[in-house]
Amino acid sequence: MIIDDSAVMREVMQQMLAAHRDIDVIGTAMDPLLAQQKMARNWPDLILLDVEMPRMDGITFLRQIMSTRPTPVVICSTLTERGADVTLQALAAGAVEVICKPTAGLRDFLQDSAQELVTAIRTAARARVRPMAAAPMERQARLGADALVDLPAPGLRNLRTTERIVLLGTSTGGTQALEQVLRQLPTNAPAIAIVQHMPEHFTRSFAQRLDSICAIGVREARDGDRLLPGLALIAPGGKHMLVRRSGAQYLVEVKDGPLVSRHRPSVDVLFRSAAVQAGRNALAVIMTGMGDDGARGLKELREAGGRTCAQDEESCVVFGMPKEAIRMGGVDQVIALDEIPKVLMDWR
């Protein structure tokens, strides 16, 4: 079911999906109220949902769906600061994926973003969606990590530095999973570097939202930021983030570069850099997400002496990235989502 107040967008998406035999558009609607009438007769396996619409906004509708009949939802949102903030609210409410919708050039969007949309739909269709609790009160050619990080030859709430760091890598379902983990950490939590697959312009709003509801500090990483206890740094969308050591301190390097494991930022890049720069001083957890980004880097970190964990299948929205990491032999321990905060605190 496609729900969007733009008739052109509804037509573009229908055209885009018509060529794929495994995807059937059973209906479209210009707003959630009309969609509800159609869905009562024929409930979809997946919903493509705009955010800002007349009569009822997408987030209100999403919360209704996730509390009464949980269904995979892919959000279509424009890349604006306002759009990023609202879209992150939708992810927190249970949306599985985000597709960046242009404000102009929709016909070009049909050609340029077809595969992205189809991949998002297929990913979301396999996602494990669960009823959402009420929102808490606010407080191309495939490249590997070699493209940015060479392996070595064989053989701001607290000011103190740390020699131990935590790395988290996640994708589909990761916004909700990261919120659940970070909200449980106290201010003396270890330094954390995070790669969450997310479009440009979204990571800053995501970090700001987490910072407002977590005891630890959370912010979008800047080149040269120090990794400090009580602080989580999130890689900016569209940039890679690497770990660098400077004396007894760990810093992050934020840089441009090609897609690695089909992503930018890439979990493989973060984990590989930690294998080179931190070794046994690093703990990495690979979390919910589609594909295999991070699996190779996790194995390299384990071989360098670091500790490695993978989120278990039961608590993942999509058990792709952890499954590949386990298959490759890069995982010391498989843990449930609600066990991750304790593992991180024990690492200090």
The CATH number of 156-346, from 3.40.50.300, 3.40.50.180, 3.40.50.2300, 3.30.230.80, is 3.40.50.180
* Catalytic residue set: 171, 197, 293
Burial string for 234-272 (b: 16+ CB within 10 Å, else e) reads: bbbbebbbbbbbeeeebbbbbeebeebbebbbbbbbbbb
pLDDT at residue 54, as a whole number:
80
pLDDT for position 289:
92
Residue 138 pLDDT: 42
Residue range 12-54, pLDDT digits in tens: 888 888 889 999 999 999 999 999 999 999 999 999 998 888 8
Q: What is the pLDDT of residues 163-191, one digit of tens each?
A: 799 999 999 899 999 999 999 999 999 99
Residue 246 φ/ψ, nearest 5 degrees: -130, 100
Question: Which has the minimum average pLDDT: 7-11, 17-21, 150-154, 267-271?
Answer: 150-154
What pTM was computed for the model? 0.79
Mean pLDDT computed over every residue of the chain:
87
pLDDT digits (tens, 9 = 90+) for 320-347: 999 999 999 999 999 999 999 999 999 9
pLDDT category at 145 given cuts 50, 70, 90 is low
CB 182 within 8 A of CB 214: yes
Single-letter amino acid, residue 326: I
Residue intervals of the chain classified under CATH 3.40.50.2300 are 2-125
CATH 3.40.50.180 residue window(s) in the chain: 156-346
The yes-or-no verdict on residue 77 having pLDDT over 80 is no
Assigned CATH for 2-125: 3.40.50.2300
The region of weakest confidence among 55-64, 129-138, 229-238 is: 129-138
* Higher per-residue confidence, 150 vs 165: 165
Q: First CA to last CA across the chain, in angstroms?
A: 47
The DSSP annotation for 205-236 comes to HHHHHHHHH-SSEEEE--TT-B--TTEEEEPP
DSSP string, 256-301: ----BTTBSS-HHHHHHHHHHHTGGGEEEEE-SBSS-TTHHHHHHH
- Where is average pLDDT lowest: 101-115, 135-149, 260-274? 135-149
Q: What is the largest CA-CA distance in the chain?
A: 66
Q: What is the pLDDT of residues 198-238, one digit of tens each?
A: 888 789 989 999 999 999 999 999 999 999 999 999 999 99
Regarding predicted confidence, which is higher, 86 or 140?
A: 86
**Preceding amide of 341 cis, omega within 30:** no
